[in-house]
Structure 1
Amino acid sequence: MQTASANVCERMGRSQELSEFKRGTVIGCYLCNKSIREISLLLNIPRSTVSDIITKWRQLGTTATQPQSGRPRKMTERGQHMLNHTVRRSHQMSIESIAKDLQTSCGLQISTTTVHRELHGMGFHG
């Protein structure tokens, strides 16, 4: 038997972004004078999402996704793979030597702090 809190946690997970077609359908329904509640029930989308799409369309004139804020990640997936390979190849390397090795092999300018953070995120401790 599931508790009420377990059901809430299952429902509150982040889902994928809506397709451009579905966002266009929301705007089409809005232009046909459907209410936010009716659009939500018709397309099986939360009312808050429908409201956000309509607000964005009225303000920006588009429903396309905008660039996300924040600094892009320094370490790419390829860099993470190289880091993992380097650490598994020789366990006793210092963080400084790992950073220099990545700079020569990948051409990335990565600080020792970034290497330490990435290693910790991969599960390497100590």
Structure 2
Amino acid sequence: MQTDSTSIFERMGRSQELSEFKRSTVIGCHLCNKSMCEISLLLNIPRSTVSCIITKWKQLGTTATQPRSSKPQQWRCSLE
């Protein structure tokens, strides 16, 4: 096995998101009965990412990024 997966993580990083085009391409490949491994190799992205995109699409019907929950606002009590 090649060390391509290491270079993928180095280039992509954990915080970077895939483009809408690439997520749509994953779904298109899935609908054409490509396996997750084939999609991963074809698009040069990790299999776990492919799996997450397909699962999200099946559950929500979309691959768009959802808004993240924000940090709860801290309330300050003033003692006057």
The amino acid of 2:41's aligned partner reads: L
Choose between structure 1 and 2: higher helix proportion. 1
In structure 2, how many angstroms separate the alpha carbons of the residues matched to 1:15 and 1:22? 16
Q: Counterparts of 1:50 and 1:44 in 2: how far apart (Å)?
A: 10
Distance in 1 (alpha carbons) for counterparts of 2:53 and 2:40: 11
The structural deviation recorded for 1:14 is 2.1
Residue 63 (structure 1) aligns with: 63
| TM-score when normalising by structure 2 | 0.72
Q: Unaligned regions of 5+ residues in structure 2, if any?
A: 1-5
Name the larger-Rg structure.
1
Give aligned-pair identity as a percent: 78
Cα distance in 2, alignment partners of residues 19 and 72 from structure 1: 29
Q: Which residue of 1 aligns with 2:3?
A: none
**What is the rounded CA distance, in whole Å, between the counterparts of 2:73 and 2:18 in structure 1?**
24
Equivalent pairs, count: 68
Residue 38 of structure 2 corresponds to which residue in structure 1? 38
Point out 4+ residue stretches in structure 1 off by more than 3 angstroms: 10-13
Q: Which has the higher contact order (CA 8 A, sep 6+)?
A: 2
Which ranges of structure 1 fall in alignment gaps of 5 or more residues? Answer: 1-6, 75-110, 112-126
The amino acid that maps onto 2:35 is: S
